[in-house]
Amino acid sequence: MTGQDLKKFKAALKSFGKANTQTADQARKVLRDEGVIDSQGRLKKPYRRSSPTTLPKAS
């Protein structure tokens, strides 16, 4: 996720408005848990997934 992607995502969160604050909070929590943003909502660099993108092959 690039800085530009994060800005677009934040703009989308703002468009939800107060009626959907729980959804926005959940989205922020997921981004924090994945290590994309820090507690202030800033993009962490470099971004690395905390979970593997592919499953290990069965032997």
Q: Where are the domains of the chain?
A: 1-49
Which residues sit opposite 43 in a β-bridge?
37
pLDDT-derived band of residue 59, with 50, 70 and 90 as boundaries? Answer: low
In this predicted model, what pLDDT tens digit does every residue of 6-58 receive, in sequence order?
Answer: 888 888 777 766 667 777 788 888 888 888 888 888 888 765 666 666 656 66
Other Cβ atoms closer than 10 A to 27: 16
pLDDT of amino acid 27: 83
* Per-residue CA distances from 27 to 6, 34, 51, 55 (Å): 12, 11, 17, 24
Give me the pLDDT at residue 19, please.
Answer: 62
Can you give the pLDDT at residue 17? 66
C-beta of residue 35 within 8 angstroms of C-beta of residue 44: yes
Is the pLDDT assigned to residue 1 strictly greater than 60?
A: yes
* Tokens coding 42: 């800033």
- Rounded Cα–Cα distance for residues 16 and 21 (Å): 7
